[in-house]
Every structure is written in C-alpha cells, then in structure tokens.
Structure 1
Amino acid sequence: MTRFHHQTVLVTGGQGSSHVRAFHAEGANVMIGDIEAERGSALADELGDRARFTRLDVTDERSWAAAVAAAEKTFGSLDVLVNNAGVQNPPAPIESTEQTTWSRILDINLTGTFLGIKAAAPALRRATGGVIVNISSTMGLGGTAHYAPYVASKWAVRGLTQTAALELGRDRIRVNTIHPGVIATPFIHEPAVGATAAISDFYSPGPFAIPRLGEPDDVTRLLLFLTSADASFITGAEYVIDGGLLLGPALQAEPA
C-alpha cells in the first residue's frame, strides 16, 4: 500500500521510529525531527531515499520554523505533523515535585505541541490541507498519583487539540489526539530522568481485558488511519488505545 505517496510527514521524538518506518513504507517522504542528531540521522540513513533528519528542539520556536522550512524545501510541501515528542517525570507527590521538573515536562509535552501546531499550520495551509496528530496518553484522561507534571501536560494537550481542530477545520486541516496506554518502548522499560525504577518494574497488564503491553505498531496502525484519507471526516477526536486499561480490571471467567 502507498496511502501517503507524494505526501510529506514530519514526526517528532526519538521513540517515533515505528511511525517513521511505516509512513516511509507507505510511500511518504519523512522528516525525522529529533533533538538527538546521532539517533535521527541513523534512522534516516537506514531508510535512505525519501527520509531526512532535521535537528529539532520542540521547546524552541526557531527550531520548529527551521524544521518546517526544511520539509518544504526538501520535499516541496508538508502534509502531516505527528507531535510525538514527550518526556516523563520521575514519580513524586506534588509536595515533593520541583518547579524545574514541572516546567521541563510542560515545556516539552505541552509547549512543544503548541509550537508544532503553530509552525506547521501555515505550511499545511499552503499544501491546501493536511493532518496533525498529537500523541497524548491515558494519563491525560484521569488523575495518576505521583505524576502531576505529566498528567497536567497531557490533559492540556486534549484542550489544545480540540481548539486547533476548531480553528483549522475550514482550512481542511484535521487535528486529532491519540491516547496510548502502556506501550513497550524505552519510555516504559527505562527509568525517567531522575527516577530509580521504570514503569514496567511495577506495572503488570495481567488484570486487564487485553493482558499484554501494547506494541509501538499498535499505535502506528491507528496513526496511519487517522492521517489517511480514510479518516477525512474525523477531527477534534480522541482515540484511546490501551488494551482496556481505563476500563479497569477484567472479571475472570468462572469455571464451567
């Protein structure tokens, strides 16, 4: 399939490699926006034709402008933005959370998403329409003790997404949100900066309806749908992909 032939997609965040590979496989030109040049360049080199790396600090408005300009200069247009960059705070109660931690998490997760929408909207308009997908979290749909900065940032992304959908819809720009649950990435298997344990050290999917961790490809398949023409009537929507996590523990079947 080549659903994205002649389209250009900008994907942010070092954990978006599954998304990048899938868009590229379906015919897209892909700009990889990452703050870590070695990681992003390696992925672009691996994919070869139709893949480029641009160093992107999502908290810096000028860096965003340069990334969007690079996409348009290299490939002629920008058609899809995937705001995937995000970081987790080390778990701590609100009373023990440093303001510097709070600011860092919101700068990357929320301000980075805001700046991405702001920078990409004119380019998407020049392309006569396009799609923005913001990657949020199930933590943006409910409170979670000891993760106040992350939870606050992801709740705010929901409101930002819906506002952008209202503002940009008449320009044929759709804006939606994906809320992943616990996905098997380094985000889950490695401790956050300043933390001593990874989320996977104390989380088990066993009690839930689908008793496994999500895989990056699970999210990628949903992302490809939302950014394709198949989803042309969907905007301002929220898609939960969590294996039933938010439903709570599943009842065990009674023996016959």
Structure 2
Amino acid sequence: MREDSVGNENPEREASVVLISGAGRGTGRAIALRLAREGFDVAGLYARNDEAAESTRAEVESTGVQCRMYRCDVADAAAVAEQVEQVSADFGRIDALVHNAGIASRGKTVADTEPAEMARVIGVHAFGAFHLLSTAIPMLRKSERASVVLISSTAAATAAPGNAPYTIGKVALEALGRTVAAEEARNGIRVNIVAPGLIATEMGDRLARAVTGAADAVELDAQMPFGRVTRPEDVGEAVEFLISDRSRQITGQRIEVHGGVPGVPRP
C-alpha cells in the first residue's frame, strides 16, 4: 500500500531523500524521525502493519518534511524493484539508504532448524539488503552525498546457541556491506554498518523475556554500565552521523551501539 498524501509539497525544494526499510515502527521509526529532523524527506518501506506505518508517516511529516510509506516484503526481489522504482518516481532521487528491516529466528539449534526458517530469516536480512542495494545503487550514484547504512547486530560477532539463521543473516549482511563499500567508493557512495546490541523495542522485549525472564528490555536498565538498555533513538543518532557530512571520510566501517554490554545483560 502506498500513501498518496505527501505533506509540505514545494516544487522548488530539493531535499535529500532517504529510503529506509523496516520504517514502520521501532528502530526504523526512530531512524526516520532522526533523519527527518535533519531535513531528509523519507521514503519508508514496511512489511505489513498499515496502522503503524501511517502513524510513522504522520509523525515524520510533522517535522516539516515529506514522507511516503510503501508496503514491501524486502525478501521479494520483484517487490523491492517495483517499490524502488515508485520511490524514484515519487521523489525523483535517492540520496541515502538504510536497511533496517529484520526478523528474529526461532531459537532452535542447527540440528532442529528447518531450511525454510533459514531461508526466511536470511531472506530478510541479507537478500533484502542485496535487493535494495542492487536496485537503488543507480540512483545513489547520481547523488552528491550518497550514503548507505546497514543495520546489523552484535550477534554477528558471536556464535550464540540457537541463533544460527539470525547470526548468519547478519554476517552475510556485513560482508555485503563491506563489498559494496569497496565497489562503490569510486562512485562516491559510502557504506557503513551499525551493529546494536539489545534494543528496547518489541523484538528486544521478547528477547529479554526469553533470556532473563524480565517483563521487557527496559527492566534491565539497572544492569547496564551506562544506566539503560539501548533505545531506538540511540541507533538513530549513529545512523544520522554516518549519513551526515560529518563522516565524509568514513566508509566500510562497523560501529557497535550497545551501552557497554554487547549481548543481553545477565543478573
């Protein structure tokens, strides 16, 4: 579903445009709002929650920028190509890309993981990034400030039991990011990776309950060295920095955002 209402129409205004996957809620929503406050028009992809996507669109537009939301399964190459083409038609440009869409695996061992589960999780994290990059790069090459940020996880640096699909998906995502950084530097495109630890989102709450029995991730604040679990806004700040002109000499890098504890804090 594409939202046809775009606020603050101004044909003379040429704001930079960021395409964000998983933008409907949680970390993606926070990233969209942070970049909107820097003047970026936002094209957001979301999987299925129309109500959350509409809420995000309205909040982003309240900052004074334009925003459209597009329903899209990033694991579907044809769907991604169609929506990137629509974004290009609607906005006329893409200056930045943030691949944030992600799903959790079911916590099974490798011996008990079905191939369909592996394909489902890797499809969103790694193939989703590939589909977005391969279709958006021609537009990014036209931008004077092109930047890509891939949202990974501290899990990519570990081998936690019962997490193979998610870990493999993130490792593949990071390898893709480093490859594109090397390939596209000559075209002025910077590619960096942000790897959060536990985040206080719906997914983070489920993880906190499963691992520690806490009601939600925020309940673990006191166990964090800096006094709180990472919030979506913290990730948004890191993404904004990597997209901004303040990081013009930074590409092919990986920044962890975890408040001093890469995984889930233990009692």
* TM range, smaller chain: 0.7 to 0.9
Aligned pairs for 1:35-46 within 5 A:
35-36=47-48, 37-46=50-59
Counterparts in 2 of 1:152 and 1:51: CA distance versus 1, 3 Å: same
TM-score, normalising length: structure 1: 0.86
Is 1:97 matched with 2:109?
no
Which letter maps to 1:38? E
- Asked if the contact 1:12–1:32 (Cα under 8 Å) also holds between the matched residues in 2, the reply is yes
Match of 1:8 in 2: 17
The alignment status of 1:47 with 2:60, answered yes or no, reads: yes
Helix, strand or coil for the counterpart of 2:75?
coil
Cα distance, 1:91 vs structure 2: 1.2
CA distance in 1: counterparts of 2:60 and 2:133, whole angstroms: 26
Do the aligned partners of residues 62 and 229 (structure 1) sit closer, same or farther apart at CA in structure 2, a change above 3 Å counting? same
Amino acid across the alignment from 1:104:
R
Pairwise CA distance, 1:162: 0.5
Counterpart position of 2:3: none
Deviation string, structure 1 residues 72-103 (Cα, Å, up to 9, x no partner): 22222100000000001121221121221111
Corresponding letter in the other structure for 1:10: L
Residue 24 of structure 1 pairs with residue 24 of structure 2? no
Give the 3-state SS of the residue equivalent to 2:141 in structure 1: helix
Task: Tell me which amino acid in the other structure corresponds to 1:8.
Answer: V
> Whole-Å Cα distance in 1 between the matches of residues 87 and 249 of structure 2?
26
SS in structure 2 of the partner of residue 210 of structure 1: coil
Query: Are 1:138 and 1:181, in contact at CA under 8 Å, matched by a contact in 2?
Result: yes
Q: Greater CA deviation, 40-49 or 123-132?
A: 40-49
1:127-146 to 2 correspondence within 5 Å?
127-146=143-162
Deviations 1:2-57 (A, max 9, x none): xxx71000111133111111111221110111122332233213433501111221
The answer on whether the counterparts of 2:197 and 2:264 sit within 8 Å (CA) in structure 1 is no
Specify the SS of the correspondent of 1:90.
coil
Partner of 1:254: none
Structure 1 Cα separation of the partners of residues 34 and 148 of structure 2: 17
Q: Which residue of 1 aligns with 2:191?
A: 175
Q: What secondary structure is seen at the aligned counterpart in 1 of 2:18?
A: strand
Aligned residue number for residue 201 of structure 1: 213
**Structure 2 matches for 1:215-234, cutoff 5 A?**
215-234=231-250
Is the contact between residue 68 and residue 78 of structure 1 (CA under 8 Å) also seen in structure 2? Answer: no
| Contact residue 8 and residue 28 of structure 1 kept, 8 A | yes
TM-score normalised by L of structure 2: 0.83
**Unaligned stretches of 5+ residues in structure 2:** 1-13
Match in the other structure for 1:153: 169
Q: How far did residue 210 of structure 1 move?
A: 2.8
Q: Contact 1:82 / 1:134 at 8 angstroms: preserved in 2?
A: yes
What code does the residue aligned with 1:178 have?
A: V
Match of 2:11? none
Alignment check: 8 A CA contact 1:189 1:199 kept: no
| Residue of structure 2 aligned with 1:110, choices 107, 126, 143 | 126
Other structure's SS at 1:176 match: strand
Pairwise CA distance, 1:171: 0.4
SS in 1 for 2:155: helix
AA aligned to 1:45 is A
State the AA in 1 paired with 2:18.
V
Task: Give the equivalent residue in structure 1 for 2:98.
Answer: 82
Q: CA 1:46–1:153 in 2, change beyond 3 Å: closer, same or farther?
A: same
Q: Are 2:145 and 2:245, in contact at CA under 8 Å, matched by a contact in 1?
A: no
Does the CA contact (< 8 Å) of 1:188 and 1:199 recur in 2? no
